[in-house]
Amino acid sequence: MRGRTTILILLGILIVLGTVIGIIIVQLFYRQPYIPPSTLAAMMSLTPPDTTPGPGTPTISRIVTATSQSVPLPPPATMEPPEMLNTPGPTDTPGPQKEVCGTTGSYILLAILTDLTNPDTEKDGAIGFRIVQVDFSHERVVVYAIPPELVLPGANLQVYGRTSATLTDAFDIVYNAERSNADAISLASNAIAQMINENLGILASHYMIIDTAAIENYANSVGSLDVKISETYVTDEFDLQRGSRKLDGSLIRKYITAKATALGSEWDRVLRQNDVINAFRVEMKRRDPSQFIASFISQAEDGLLSDLTVGQLRQLVCLSNSMESVRFRFNTIPKNRLNLVVDGTIVIQDTESVRANIANSLGSTGE
C-alpha cells in the first residue's frame, strides 16, 4: 500500500511539471514571433524610447524585425545603362581621410591652354580645355579633355549677343569683350566653367590658365624637355618620330598648337598636348615642388593665371611627384558620341551619355 501511494504521488508531480513546461513552450514559441538570437541581443541593448541616455552613452538605431504579414513589394526599378549605374557618388567618404602632401579631399580644376601671344592670329585664343580631378586622399589625378570646337549653349553668352558657341569661341568672345578689364581672362574662364556645368554636369571649383608662351619660356630656360612622342607626327615644317625626343621651347609650342583640317584631328592634338603634360610631370619629379613652382612662375610672366594659391600649387606638384604614374590618367570624349560637322565644329549626339562618360572617367580609380 505504501509503495502504491508513493507511485501516485510521483505521477502527480510529473503531471504538474508537464503542464507547466507545456505552458512555457506555448508562451515562448507560439505567442511570440521568432527572433534570431543576434537580433534579439541587439534589440535588448536599445535605449528605451521614454528614457534619455546618460552622457557618453551611444544611441543605437532601432531594429525593425520581419513579421509574417504580407507587404506588397515595390515595382522593379528601371535599369539605367551601365555607365549611369557606375556614376560615382560624392568624393568625400565618412570618417577621416588620408592626408597627402599636407592636405586631404579632392577638387575639380578647369585647365585651359591658350595661345594668346601667338603672332599668327588664326591660332589666337584657347586651344585646349581639360577638366582635372585632383584627389589627394586617393592619390590620383584624372585629366579629361574636351575638344575646343565642341558647341554648347550658354545662358551667360546672351549678354554678348550669342546663345551658343564652341568652347574656343566662347572664351574669345568674353575675353575680347572684356579685354579692357584686368580680370578679362578670369571672366572668360568663368564663362567656360558655367557652360560646362550647365551642359556636362561638372562644377569646377578652381581654374588654371596656361599660355603656350609660358611653356616655351620654361623649356628654353632649362635648355629642352624630354618629350615622349606617342605617335609619329609629320608636317610641312617638321617631323617627329615616335619615341623620346629632346625638344626646345619653340618646337614644343608648335607641337601642341598645330592642328590639321581633317575631321577628328582635334583628338590628335589632344594626344600631343598630353605628351607635353607628361614631359612636365617628368620634369617636376626632378625638382623640389617649391623650386619648380618658383622657376615656372618666374618664366611664365603673365602666362599663368589661377585662383590656386602658391601653397596649393606646391601641393599639386607634390601629389604629381609622389603618386604612382598609373594613377595619373588621361581621358577625352569618345568620338563616337559626337557629330563631327564639316565646318570643323563638334556637336554632342546624346548629352546624358556624354555626362555619364565624364562622371565615370572622373570616378576612375586610376588602376
Bridge partners (DSSP) of residue 348 are 338
In this prediction, residue 46 carries a pLDDT of: 33
Give the whole-angstrom CA distance, residue 237 versus residue 268: 17
In this prediction, residue 181 carries a pLDDT of: 84
To the nearest whole percent, how much of the chain has pLDDT over 70? 71
In this prediction, residue 25 carries a pLDDT of: 46
Asked whether residue 97 is assigned to any structural domain, the reply reads: no
Domain count, the chain: 1
Q: What is the pLDDT of residues 147-162, one digit of tens each?
A: 999 999 999 999 999 9
Q: What is the mean pLDDT of residues 89-107?
A: 76
When pLDDT is cut at 50, 70 and 90, the band that residue 61 belongs to is very low
Q: What is the pLDDT of residues 135-149, one digit of tens each?
A: 999 999 999 999 999
Question: What HEC string does the chain produce?
Answer: CHHHHHHHHHHHHHHHHHHHHHHHHHHHHCCCCCCCHHHHHHHHCCCCCCCCCCCCCCCCCCCCCCCCCCCCCCCCCCCCCHHHHCCCCCCCCCCCCCCECCECCEEEEEEEEECCCCCCHHHCCEEEEEEEEEECCCCEEEEEEECCCEEEECHHHHHHCCCEEEHHHHHHHHHHHCCCCCCHHHHHHHHHHHHHHHHHCCCCCEEEEEEHHHHHHHHHHCCCEEEEECCCEECCCCEECCEEEEECHHHHHHHHHCCCCCCCHHHHHHHHHHHHHHHHHHHHHCCCHHHHHHHHHHHHCCCEEECCCHHHHHHHHHHHHHCCHHHEEEEECCHHHEEECCCCCEEECCHHHHHHHHHHHHCCCCC
Torsion of CA 166, 171, 177, 178, to 10 degrees: 160
In this prediction, residue 14 carries a pLDDT of: 63
Asked whether residue 285 is assigned to any structural domain, the reply reads: yes
What range does the domain containing 210 cover?
108-362
Q: What is the pLDDT of residues 213-250, one digit of tens each?
A: 999 999 999 999 999 999 999 888 888 999 999 999 99
Mean pLDDT over the full length of the chain: 79
In this prediction, residue 246 carries a pLDDT of: 96
Asked whether residue 335 is assigned to any structural domain, the reply reads: yes
When pLDDT is cut at 50, 70 and 90, the band that residue 44 belongs to is very low
Asked whether residue 356 is assigned to any structural domain, the reply reads: yes
Provide the CATH number for the domain around residue 121.
3.40.630.190
Asked whether residue 63 is assigned to any structural domain, the reply reads: no
Asked whether residue 131 is assigned to any structural domain, the reply reads: yes
Q: What is the pLDDT of residues 326-361, one digit of tens each?
A: 999 999 999 999 999 998 999 999 999 999 999 999
Q: What is the mean pLDDT of residues 272-301?
A: 93
Q: Which of 266, 253, 255, 261 is nearest to 149 (CA)?
A: 266
pLDDT over 70 (residue 17) = no
In this prediction, residue 183 carries a pLDDT of: 86
When pLDDT is cut at 50, 70 and 90, the band that residue 2 belongs to is low
pLDDT over 60 (residue 275) = yes
CA distances from residue 226 to 93, 212, 252 in whole angstroms, order as listed: 39, 17, 10
The one-letter code for the residue type at 282 is V
In this prediction, residue 117 carries a pLDDT of: 74
Higher-pLDDT residue of 93 and 277 is 277
276: Cβ–Cβ under 8 A, 6 or more apart, which residues? 215, 225, 227, 252, 255, 256
Q: What is the pLDDT of residues 148-199, one digit of tens each?
A: 999 999 999 999 999 999 999 999 999 989 988 888 888 999 999 999 999 9
Q: Which of 224, 261, 267, 258 is nearest to 244 (CA)?
A: 224
Asked whether residue 259 is assigned to any structural domain, the reply reads: yes
Give the whole-angstrom CA distance, residue 64 versus residue 62: 7
Across 86-95, 299-308, 316-325, 356-365, least confident range: 86-95
pLDDT over 80 (residue 293) = yes
Asked whether residue 88 is assigned to any structural domain, the reply reads: no
Give the whole-angstrom CA distance, residue 230 versus residue 48: 67
